[in-house]
Every structure is written in structure tokens, then in C-alpha cells.
Structure 1
Amino acid sequence: MGALMARGRFPRAGAGLAIAFAFALAGEVAAAQTLRYVALVDGGTQAGHQVVVEGDDGVTRSEFIFKDNGRGPELKEEFTLNPDGTFRSYRVTGTSTFGAPVDETFTLADGVARWTSTSGRGEQPVGPGAQYSPLGGSPAATSVSLAALAKRPDGRLPLIPSGVLSARKVAEAEVRKGGDRRTVQLLAITGVGFSPSFAWATDEARPRLFAYIYPGFVQMIEEGWESNADALEEVQKRAESEALVAMHGRLAHRLPGSTLIRNARVFDSEHARLGEASDVRLRDGRIDSVVPAGTDADAADHVIDAGGRVLLPGLFDMHAHVSRWSGGLQLAAGVTSLRDMGNDNATLQQVIAEARDGTLVMPRIVPAGFLEGESAQSARNGFVVADLEGAKKAIDWYADHGYRQLKVYNSFPKQILADTVAHAHARGLRVSGHVPVFLRAQDALDAGFDELNHINQIMLNFMVRPDTDTRTLERFYLPARETADLDLDSKPVQDFIALLAEKQIVIDPTLATFEFLHQREGQITPIFAGVEDHLPPDVQRSRRAAEMDIPDDATGARYRESFDRMVEFVGRAWRAGVPVVAGTDEVPGFTLHHELALYVRAGLSPAQALQVATWNGAKYSGVLDTLGSITPGKVADLVLVDGDPTADIGDIRKAATVIQGDVAYYPAEIHAELGVRPFAQPLRAVPGTTK
């Protein structure tokens, strides 16, 4: 799940990615000039393009197409500019990443801005120099903002409907094309989303965007200059490292020596129950003792008075796709460990090393190796292979680098699946994944899968025909259409659930992610429902855009009924003894909380849902010997909650203190850094007494 420029979705690198990506793809266009950009993935495979043409009639027209993993946006725009470089008029049409229609307009006349889109409309009086921020636009739309920003003497560009954009130069580099040389600058762009974004621009008084690079995923660069992309990516990674190290220094609070947490109600994750109040002593990043409250009278270097609050083991997100900027939202949500389920291998190795060295605000990472087959719809992560020899080499690389699991993807050749799984098992790797095209989930189990990822992949078991191409958007639309009619009491469904339970096949349903199947235009995504007022205004607005093409109320009702049936399936599977793990594949932190709420809706108790996110996470990540419970000798990954999530799962949002080994994080501080209104006040460690 997740894709570049996914309209209405939170991009993996942070909410600011969409606007930064847009900046990077197209700059201010001179009269009668055509600018062309290419999008490269997987070391040079072209996956898209941007063409921007300014006509003699004063209208700029653009076309943007990006396709990866069998999906992506197709957009066309027309716009005119005011003398200050901001939009006078704007129009975009096309389709979003998952096929939803895009149709948005903006006009500015007599000091009044008016806009409409498929998710709503608005108007407001504006002063001079304010720039409209399109909801569903292509890179060319928001790239106009860079030229307008360069004209602002204060370096701040007011945005419509809300927000202020700014940019700061953080690096520069020389690029070459034959005998032509340019100096380009790397800009850190802030004011949109949860984190800064980075874009390359020409080093001029009125800069024009030259490239956007998302390290490890895509390089979008002006056509003809592609040979410079790798060098620019390395410069950018170093510049981002400086910002990330500085953020870690602001947010990480060391707890050397001993720490005493007094009067905490400890959650027993093995048995899914809340215990009596206890004193929990930590020493050098590990749990030293757990005794009845008031009985630990020894000195400690640091003391936290829990005041009867609930103490949980750190949560696991079992379906993440890590970026270097995603860790803050995870830790603020109490996620101290995550399983990465597909990434660029070099990028993931870098993130793991930086997290281990203590320079990133990042949960512990358990990597799963990504294995895809070659096709026009391939996802360009991990290794993309064409035969069994290539698959075995990829598995050997993952095993040699300490990976515990393999994830197989949509285009993997079905003819070599069983032999590939056998080799992975021989190298000590569990196997999970999407169900390869032209197979059913039952076939994947017969080939030796240990785990199934995503509820849609499970539902497709009862729907696909021999010619169903699940590399396309049909893997979303087919279960949205047909799950409503699936009889969960039927023999095929009951037999399949029984097989999952008998073989102890883990399911990673990522239910919260699939709320997008029924989300209507103008409705806030259910992931943020009830907490949207805590979020930056631009994030709220972006998450009111639908992703699926839902043409009428009847279709919307049917898709909603299908989703409800998916939730019910997970509850039935759990009660039958099928192991469940809690993963997200969406906006970090917030999605895990909603995932647990959906498990409660499926029939689990809040305590059982917490067990899934703690004990099960550690067990099926292969780290239960060191994590997953509050047990002496284990690593001190803990969450102190200002509420009781064993009674009300919604209280899981109220993390007051998160401890990761010998480091304390205060979610309120992280949220303030990311533009989020905190959910709980910090419960700080204070100096203790020594003997």
C-alpha cells in the first residue's frame, strides 16, 4: 500500500512529501518554454514523466503521469498567474493513485479566493501574495509556489486555505550534462505536513526547480540530467542526516544508570490482563525488577511517579515501510518496535544502522526482505527477480544480513513459488506476502506461506478467477464490490478459517488502511476521525479526499458493507484461534491506534487488542526473548499511558512517556515538533536520590 503522490493519503516520507515532490518536478516556466522531467525508480527504470508548457495565450498546461506497483495518478492542469507569481486561476482533472476522479478549480478575483473540488468547496478574502495549495494537483501546480516564494522579502509564502510555506538552503552541488554545468541548491521546505521536505532548485535569484529525490524510492529530474541523480541523492542524504541528528538531540532524554517507575499498573501482555500497582526498576536500558507498589525503597538515578497510570510494553507496528522521518510519529504513539515490510535495501540498512547508533528518532526495526517478480506492474523495492536462481540469491542476501522474514509480492512468478519458500525456510526466514498474481491465498498456503498480509488479499481467496489480474487496481475494487455478498458461515470460508487456525498461519490484516475502500469525498479518513482537531490544517484537508472511485450512494453503501464484513472476518478468525498481528501500512502511529480500535469492533476486548500489539508483535517478529512484555531481564521498552486502554482502547492515544531502552521520549514534545496538538502532558523523569 501507499504510493507516490497518492491523493488523500499520507506519503511514507511525511505529509510534506506531496508538496515538496510537486516543487521538485516543475519550476517557473518562461514564455513558450517546454520543461520535461522523468521519474526514475529501481536504479534507472522510468516510471513517469512531467511535461509543462506555457502557451502564448498566458495559460500554462501540464501533464503528469506516475505509475508504480500497478497504480498511480494521471493528471492534467491549466493555470494562469498573477504578477506576483501566485495563481489567478487553476484547474486540474484526472484520476488519483487509486482511481478516484480529480476535478478541482480555483479563482481569485476582487480579493476573494474561491475553490471547489470533489471533496468540498470554500471561499475566503485574501491579501496580496497568497498562494492556493491544490488538494489534488500535480507537481506542476505546487511548483509555482517556489517562484512566488522567491519574491517574498520575508521568505514566507501565505497559503490558501491556510498555512505558511518557507524554504531554507541546506546544501549545493554542481551538475553536468556534456559541456553544460549548473549549480543547484538543496532546499528544506517547511510549513506543510508533519516534517520538512527537500527539493533541488537552480541557484538563481528566481530559482527553478531542478529535481526531487526521495532517497531509495524515486529520482525525478529534468530530462537530460539523469546521470547526476545518484550524486545528488548522496548529498541530500547527508544534509537530511544533519537535520535528523539535531532533532534526535532535542527529543531524546537519556536515562543512564537506574530508573524507578513508582506506582504503575502493569499490563500483563502474555495473559492480556491489567495487574496491580507496581514499582518497576530499570537499569541500563533493561527491566531489573517488578515488585508491589511501595516496596522498592532503594535509591535510583531517575524517578517517574506514575500515579497509578497504566504501564504497557512498547507497541509493535507489524506492517510499516520506514523512512528516516517516520519514527517521530511512531514513538509518539507508543510504538517502540516495527517490522519493515518492504523497502529499498540500501536505504533500510542505513536507517537500521542510524537507529542502532542512536542518531535517529526511530523505533527498533525488524526487517522483512522484499521479493518481487519482473513485470510492467512490479513494485520496485528490495529485489525484483525473473527466475529461481535470482530468488535464491536474494534470499541468501537477506539471510546473511540478519533478516528474519521474507515478503513475496504481486508479480512473483507462481511457477517458482514453492521452491522459493522452501529455500527461505531452509535459510531460517518466515515467509509472508501478497498472494502472487493468478493464485489464491489457499495456493500460497499450499506453497508454504507462514503469514498473509492485508485483508483484501485474504478476501480475494473467495473471488478471484483464473484470469483475474491482481497486479492492477482490481485487487482493491473486486473485494470492495463482492465481500458484501460473502457468506462467512459458508463452508469455503469456515474451512479456510479452520485451515489458518490448524496451521497457525498469521494474518496481518491492516484493517485500518482499508478504510479507504469506503471513504467518501469530504469525509475525514476514519484513521483521524475524532482526533482531526489535533492535526495541522493542511493534513486535515488532505485526508478529506477519497481515494476510490465511488460514483453514487449505493456504491458507497456496498463498499462500506464489504469493509464491515472484512472486520467481522478478522474477529471470527481470532476466535477460531488464528494468530493476528497489528500492522498499518499507512500514516505512522495514528493508524495503529485505529487498527486496535477495529479489533475491538471485531469482538476482541481492549486488553486482547493490546496483547496483539505487544506479545504477538514480539512473538512473530522473533524477539519475544527480549521484548513484548514487562518482565525482568527484558529490554525496557515501555509506554506510560494517561488513561486505561484496557478499558477504553481510545486511551491508547494518551501516551505520556515512552521509554526505549535507556532513552525517554515525551510524546507531547514530539507532537509539538511535528505540528500536532498533544494528547497528554509529559510525565517526566526527575533526578532520584543516591546512597
Structure 2
Amino acid sequence: MRPSLLLLLVFLFVACPALVRAQVKALRFGRVIDGRGKVIPNAVVLVNADRIVAVGPEKDVVIPAAAETIDLRAYTAIPGLIDAHTHMTFYWDHTPGSTPWQQLGTLGPAVTVFLAQENARKALETGVTTVRDLGSSDGMDLAMRALINRGAMHGPRMFVAGNGLHISGPPDKAGAAPDPGRCDGVAEVQRAARQQLAAGADWVKMYGSTGSDQDVTGFQTFGYEEMKAAADVAHRAGKRIAIHSYGPDGARDAVRAGANTVEHAIGLDDATLAAMARQGTIYVPTVEHNRYYIAHRAEYGYDSAVVAGLNQYVAKNFETVQRAVKAHVKMAMGSDAVFTGFGENTRELAWFVKAGLSPAQALRTATTTGAEMLGMESSLGALAPGYYADIVAVEGDPLRDIQVVIEHVKWVMKGGQVEVDRTGTSPATPRR
């Protein structure tokens, strides 16, 4: 341990013992996977307030006498997970006779934000402590981000995109409020992107093709010049852009235009994959998302034709992931969670391993690569001094079996606060 850190801890203990008791926690683990390539057996993670101050073997970390010690030696610690693609405000209350898509937008923003706390809680229970939320309406994602940041709502920290940019569709109904995401042509795209950023969005989201639950066509919508205009607006403001494209054409132009991430795309050609690898464009394939729709077809009311289309898309999506792995394209774990998909946020990791990544590489898609995607490499995605105390305890060895991360999360800390405890060993009160 660095002498300066030891002196700080001694000062806190001597001068402010009550503060130490309130804020310093010593977490003892059977081992720590630190996200930087190290596996530390019999480890201690020392946390002060919302940050990690020390990580190392038990024999090397000095634990202040007044610190709260939590015994998690039966478990392995991994960094808090990052879900690169969610829709937190897509909530369904299971009203009989309704389906999730039918109900969307009918509950009103205030009620929806309140009820969507359930989605946030379920995400935390999977070990997801940070999300990039890619599309909402009426400022609901901004509201959830603010409530979580001030501690009034429990959930993953959120990086949000506001209204996604999309081309014109059918005319609005008489008296309907203007759609802030609708735009056509370079000038309108620039206006819409600037408005989202001015409203407080962290990212620009752009729908570069058709494609959703019942429509897997993937026809390109915005052209290259429009995508470039949106990317330039984002980058000049110090922000980033995610471009949705179910098909290869929109994805190709998104990469050319400078998108930071490309969402969903299938059929990416070799030249596009090579460009992504060269430029560091991150691919968020969301294979599991459409499998989720298939598994939940009854609650959505999907017929056999819709299911057949989704199955075909999943197969093509997975084949593209396999090719992306071989091309050394960076990938981030994104669930595209909507409605009842929260609580299944990490199942994408199994697709990555099936496609050729090792469990360790798959884990990095949800930690270090996710942090890089957000520009938070020095604060998220690893267990190291100075990083947020986002820590997940799992039962088993996630470097041998990725299902350990998917199925055996036992304890979750976000920003120094215990949010989930299924161990029965922590003296801290889990926050629900």
C-alpha cells in the first residue's frame, strides 16, 4: 500500500472514527478478478465512500480498526457490469388484456418513471451497475438518471440518449405534440441532435435503418451525409453517437460517418468489419434481445410468422458476431432490455462465448470495453484504487464458466452501497 494512502486512513481513524465507521468498508473475497488481467486470491477490497482505495492480498492491505468488514470469502469479486443498450423506461404493468407495446406511452411520464424503478432494481440484481440507455421520450430517462444520481431511486448509474433521431413516418395525429426525434436532411438532423444534447443527453441515438420486434427488414433510412452530420454534432460537443442498424448498409455508412457504436447489425461485410477494428468502433450486437422476444412471444402476442422472422434474424446476428470475433472487432455487452427483459440483462455473454470469445474476453465486453465505450476507463470497469466501488460477488469461477456471471450473482455494491445481498453474510442492509 502506498504510504500516502496509509497515512490518510490512519488520520481518518484517529481524527474521525465515526466517519470511518460510516464510510470505510473492508470487503474480504476468496479472490478478486480485477478487470485488468489480475486474479488475486484471498483478497481485500478497501472502500471509502463511493470509491475503492486499495485492492490486494489480505496480507498486504491494512484494514482500519473502525472499518466495517464484510466477509465474502465464499465468493469471487468482479467489477460491476455495464449494459451498453437498455430502454429503462419501457415498463409494462401486466394489465390483463394488454401487451407491452400496446401499453407503452399510455401511463404518462410521471407514473412510468415511478413504475420503471422495478426495471432498475432487476438490472441491479443481475450485477449491472451502469447502463447506457438508448432511447426514451418525454425526458423520462433524464428524470431517472437524476433520481438515481441523487439517491432518490435505486438503480444502475445511467448514461442517456433522450429521443432517438428517426426519419419521418405517417403524419402526426391532429393536436399531437411535435416529435422531437423526427428529422429529415442534414439541417434537421443537426437541429434535432443539438436539441437532445441541450436537453442533457449524454449520447446521440440515431435510427439508421428499419428494424424492431416485428420488423427485421433492416432497410437503411438516414443516408451517409445525415449520419455524418449527427456524428459531427455529437463529437463537437464532446459527446458520442450510437447508430441503430438492423441491416448491413446502414451499419456500413454509420462506420464511415464516425459512429462510436453500431447497434444490432447483421451481414457486415469484411471491409466494414476491418474498418471497425481499425477505428475502434464498438459493435453492440444484442443477439439475445430477439431470442428474448421469441421466449416471451405469448405476452407480446406474436404469431408464428413473427417468430420465424425473429429466428432467422437471430441466426444471422450470431453469424455476424462470429465474424466480428475473427476480425478482432471490439464488442460490448448490450441487452436491449425492454419491459420484462430486465433481470435478463447479462445473457448476451453466453452468445459471445458461443461465438468464440473466452469467458475472460466475454467478461471484458461488460467491464473494460463498456467503460471505454462510455469514456469512463479511469472510473468504471475495473477494481482498482480511484475507481467507483462497483463490485459484484459471484459464486463459482467466471473465468471457466460464463454462466457463473449470468446465473450466480450473490451480492452487488454500487458506489460503495450494498444494493443486493443474497449471501446472508453482509451486515449492511440491502437497498431495494
Q: TM-score, length-normalised on structure 1?
A: 0.48
CA RMSD between the two structures = 3.0
| 1:656 corresponding residue in structure 2 | 410
Counterpart AA for 1:608: Q
Secondary structure at the counterpart of residue 583 of structure 1: coil
**1-structure distance, mates of 2:395, 2:320:** 32
Instruction: Give 1:297 deviation, angstroms.
Output: 4.3
| 1:666 corresponding residue in structure 2 | 420
**2-structure distance, mates of 1:407, 1:549:** 29
Question: Within the alignment, does 1:435 sit opposite 2:245 as a pair?
Answer: yes
| Structure with greater contact order relative to length (CA < 8 Å, sep ≥ 6) | 2
Cα 1:360/1:401, change in 2 over 3 Å: same
Paired residue for 2:372, among 619, 628, 648?
619
Question: Within the alignment, does 1:329 sit opposite 2:122 as a pair?
Answer: yes
Question: Within the alignment, does 1:684 sit opposite 2:426 as a pair?
Answer: yes
Paired residue for 1:514, among 282, 285, 290?
290
Gapped runs of 5+ residues in structure 2?
1-20, 90-115, 173-177, 211-220
Give the conservation status (yes or no) of the 8 Å contact 2:83–2:131: yes
Question: Within the alignment, does 1:288 sit opposite 2:39 as a pair?
Answer: no
**1-structure distance, mates of 2:246, 2:342:** 29
Secondary structure at the counterpart of residue 347 of structure 2: helix
Matches within 5 A, 1:517-596: 519=294, 524=295, 542=298, 549=305, 560=311, 563-586=314-337, 587-596=340-349
**2-structure distance, mates of 1:580, 1:436:** 16
Give the conservation status (yes or no) of the 8 Å contact 1:261–1:306: yes
Matches within 5 A, 1:39-58: none
Secondary structure at the counterpart of residue 320 of structure 2: helix
Instruction: Give 1:515 deviation, angstroms.
Output: 1.8
Cα 1:362/1:297, change in 2 over 3 Å: closer
Instruction: Give 1:571 deviation, angstroms.
Output: 3.0
Give the conservation status (yes or no) of the 8 Å contact 2:31–2:73: no
Question: Within the alignment, does 1:496 sit opposite 2:294 as a pair?
Answer: no
Give the conservation status (yes or no) of the 8 Å contact 1:567–1:598: yes
Question: Within the alignment, does 1:376 sit opposite 2:170 as a pair?
Answer: yes
| 1:75 corresponding residue in structure 2 | none
| 2:392 corresponding residue in structure 1 | 639
Residues 549-596 of structure 1: per-residue CA shift (max 9 Å, x gap): 169xxxx5x975763453242133123221101111134454332101
**Number of equivalences:** 360
Secondary structure at the counterpart of residue 358 of structure 1: coil
Question: Within the alignment, does 1:407 sit opposite 2:205 as a pair?
Answer: yes
Question: Within the alignment, does 1:309 sit opposite 2:309 as a pair?
Answer: no
**2-structure distance, mates of 1:394, 1:550:** 32
Counterpart AA for 2:58: A
Counterpart AA for 1:498: A
Gapped runs of 5+ residues in structure 1?
1-254, 462-492, 526-540, 669-680
Cα 1:446/1:550, change in 2 over 3 Å: closer
Counterpart AA for 2:261: E
Instruction: Give 1:667 deviation, angstroms.
Output: 4.9
Give the conservation status (yes or no) of the 8 Å contact 2:47–2:389: yes
| 2:236 corresponding residue in structure 1 | 426
Cα 1:559/1:545, change in 2 over 3 Å: same
Question: Within the alignment, does 1:458 sit opposite 2:266 as a pair?
Answer: yes
**2-structure distance, mates of 1:599, 1:391:** 34
Question: Within the alignment, does 1:447 sit opposite 2:257 as a pair?
Answer: yes
Residues 395-451 of structure 1: per-residue CA shift (max 9 Å, x gap): 233334553321111476436333232222222222221239995322222233232
Counterpart AA for 1:549: A
Instruction: Give 1:501 deviation, angstroms.
Output: 1.2
**1-structure distance, mates of 2:83, 2:303:** 23
Instruction: Give 1:640 deviation, angstroms.
Output: 1.1
Counterpart AA for 1:393: R
Give the conservation status (yes or no) of the 8 Å contact 2:74–2:395: no
Paired residue for 2:140, among 347, 361, 369?
347
Give the conservation status (yes or no) of the 8 Å contact 1:645–1:651: yes
Cα 1:438/1:685, change in 2 over 3 Å: closer
**1-structure distance, mates of 2:352, 2:171:** 32
Counterpart AA for 1:577: H
Counterpart AA for 2:291: E
Secondary structure at the counterpart of residue 591 of structure 1: coil
Cα 1:381/1:640, change in 2 over 3 Å: farther
**2-structure distance, mates of 1:438, 1:512:** 19
Residues 11-48 of structure 1: per-residue CA shift (max 9 Å, x gap): xxxxxxxxxxxxxxxxxxxxxxxxxxxxxxxxxxxxxx
**1-structure distance, mates of 2:179, 2:30:** 43
**2-structure distance, mates of 1:373, 1:682:** 51
Instruction: Give 1:682 deviation, angstroms.
Output: 3.8
Cα 1:434/1:428, change in 2 over 3 Å: same
Counterpart AA for 2:29: N
Give the conservation status (yes or no) of the 8 Å contact 1:618–1:624: yes
Give the conservation status (yes or no) of the 8 Å contact 1:600–1:606: yes
**1-structure distance, mates of 2:171, 2:411:** 43
- More moved, 627-636 vs 424-433: 424-433
Question: Within the alignment, does 1:599 sit opposite 2:352 as a pair?
Answer: yes
Cα 1:498/1:686, change in 2 over 3 Å: closer
Matches within 5 A, 1:16-95: none
Paired residue for 2:28, among 234, 258, 262?
262
Secondary structure at the counterpart of residue 182 of structure 2: strand
Cα 1:314/1:494, change in 2 over 3 Å: same
Secondary structure at the counterpart of residue 29 of structure 2: strand
Counterpart AA for 1:647: R
Instruction: Give 1:267 deviation, angstroms.
Output: 1.0
Instruction: Give 1:504 deviation, angstroms.
Output: 1.9
Give the conservation status (yes or no) of the 8 Å contact 1:581–1:612: yes
Instruction: Give 1:351 deviation, angstroms.
Output: 0.9
Counterpart AA for 1:662: G
Give the conservation status (yes or no) of the 8 Å contact 2:231–2:257: yes
Cα 1:657/1:344, change in 2 over 3 Å: same
Cα 1:442/1:373, change in 2 over 3 Å: same
| Structure with the larger helix share | 2
Instruction: Give 1:609 deviation, angstroms.
Output: 1.0
**2-structure distance, mates of 1:286, 1:562:** 42
Instruction: Give 1:385 deviation, angstroms.
Output: 2.4
Give the conservation status (yes or no) of the 8 Å contact 1:513–1:591: no
Residues 157-199 of structure 1: per-residue CA shift (max 9 Å, x gap): xxxxxxxxxxxxxxxxxxxxxxxxxxxxxxxxxxxxxxxxxxx
Instruction: Give 1:632 deviation, angstroms.
Output: 0.5
Give the conservation status (yes or no) of the 8 Å contact 1:666–1:683: no
**1-structure distance, mates of 2:420, 2:408:** 11
Counterpart AA for 1:404: D
Residues 243-301 of structure 1: per-residue CA shift (max 9 Å, x gap): xxxxxxxxxxxx83110011341113133x53333111101111011121244343243
| 2:157 corresponding residue in structure 1 | 364
Give the conservation status (yes or no) of the 8 Å contact 1:345–1:381: no
Q: TM-score, length-normalised on structure 2?
A: 0.74
**1-structure distance, mates of 2:185, 2:250:** 21
**2-structure distance, mates of 1:665, 1:429:** 30
**2-structure distance, mates of 1:335, 1:408:** 24
